Chain A
Amino acid sequence: MHGTLAGDIGIALVNVFFLAVLFAAAIAIARMRSLFAIVMLAGIYSLVSAAWYVAVDAVDVAFTEAAVGAGMSTAVLLGAMLLTSRTAKPEKLFSRVGPMLVCVMTGAALIYATVDLPGLGDPNSPVNSGVGYTYLQINWHDTGIPNVVTPVLGSYRGFDTLGETTVVFAAGLAVALLLGFGERSLAEMIRKEDRTSLRQKPKAPEAPATDEDPA
């Protein structure tokens, strides 16, 4: 972090501001009982961390964080929240001691580890001097694609990305197999509504994917 502080006091202030907002959001999440507010604050947490990633020049990570963390997981958590009660159960004071010890120790270890971190954008750090630098040098000749992230993900590490896509597919499949495909309870209702509202279509078990607005 010393590189950041040495570089520009403005960037350091932006970093401190974003991290302070993240800290406040995390404390608020830990102290709240209403699940709806917790889900919303978790979305805000993701959005602020996405903004912070932009501030440290990790634009692709920021994009993914904003789309997945703030958008997707908030929506899925809202859907999951509807299936359960609206407030978290208050736990006993005694049972908080163990988790708190784990958190404090992990935090201390992480803070200790930051001492060894290279400065932001340090050209001699392992990230920038090793394979990353090689990618930057050979990418244009190899692929001719300006954004280095895309050929690294798609071309140099195409197998990894294939594996990731398969993992996402497997996750979707696992959730669908565990929770049911979701339409079982609704299919009968949709069919009934279709039968009453659209007399010209007597049997429509799965409505066709039209772009007309059914609402």
Chain B
Amino acid sequence: MKSDHHVILRVVAKGLIPIIALFAFYVQFHGDFGPGGGFQAGVIIAVAVILYALVFGVPAAMRAVPPVFTRSLAAIGVMIYAGVGFWALLQGGNYLEYQALFHEAPGEHHGQHIGILVIELGVLCGVSGAMLTIFYAFAGRVAEIRDEDW
């Protein structure tokens, strides 16, 4: 980077970004027990990458998380979610019927837990990929944020 005006910003952001990403995973996997879930976690992960892009420049972020990857991630997320539905179909149940995933009686909850975990993973991938794609589409037109823009 040419300018050194934002050295405090960079130091603080570098410490914060891993914590933001870690918090996203906490939100993702704790969604069964507290507020949160795939959508919020996906947005938080996207925000971590966006913070990196804002502070260190979009080219650096694109090298770490390439746009091809974010686009594919969004598509893969939707496919994971829809795939759970087809998994239930193949097991003889209705579309997205988690109870049918492991052929369980109505009192057992293994299929519900696994099904919701997997679809939340799909939502995480889909949302974070789509959000980053949108951000790259906007920010990719300006290579670097100039000093007077802050």
Total contacts A to B, CB within 8 angstroms?
209
When the two chains form the complex, which single residue of B60, B109, B130, B139 contacts A172, counting CB atoms closer than 8 Å?
B130
Contacts of A93 in B (CB 8 A): none
Is A179 in contact with B141, judged by CB distance below 8 angstroms?
yes
With an 8 Å Cβ cutoff, the count of chain A residues facing the other chain is 65
CA–CA, A21 to B77, complex, Å?
A: 38
Contacts of A142 in B (CB 8 A): 106, 112
Q: Is the interface of A mostly helix, strand, loop or mixed?
A: helix
User: How far in angstroms is the closest Cβ of chain B from A200?
Assistant: 16
Is A75 in contact with B50, judged by CB distance below 8 angstroms?
yes
Q: Is the interface of B mostly helix, strand, loop or mixed?
A: helix
Tell me if A125 is interfacial: C-beta within 8 Å of chain B. Answer: no
User: How far in angstroms is the closest Cβ of chain B from A149?
Assistant: 7
Tell me if A129 is interfacial: C-beta within 8 Å of chain B. Answer: no
Q: Which A residues, 72 to 107, have Cβ-Cβ distances below 8 Å to chain B?
A: 72, 75-76, 78-80, 82-83, 86
When the two chains form the complex, which single residue of A78, A161, A176, A213 contacts B119, counting CB atoms closer than 8 Å?
A161
Tell me if B66 is interfacial: C-beta within 8 Å of chain A. Answer: yes
Is A64 in contact with B39, judged by CB distance below 8 angstroms?
yes
Is B126 in contact with A165, judged by CB distance below 8 angstroms?
yes
When the two chains form the complex, which single residue of A172, A184, A214 contacts B64, counting CB atoms closer than 8 Å?
A214
Is B130 in contact with A171, judged by CB distance below 8 angstroms?
yes
Is A75 in contact with B112, judged by CB distance below 8 angstroms?
no
Tell me if A173 is interfacial: C-beta within 8 Å of chain B. Answer: yes
Contact with A along B119-146 (1 / 0, CB 8 A): 1101100110111011111111111010
When the two chains form the complex, which single residue of B50, B127, B140, B149 contacts A165, counting CB atoms closer than 8 Å?
B127
Is B62 in contact with A183, judged by CB distance below 8 angstroms?
yes
Chain A interfacial positions (CB closer than 8 Å to B)? 36, 59-60, 62-64, 67-68, 71-72, 75-76, 78-80, 82-83, 86, 141-147, 149-151, 153-155, 158-159, 161-162, 164-166, 168-169, 171-173, 175-176, 178-186, 189-190, 193, 206-207, 209-211, 213-215
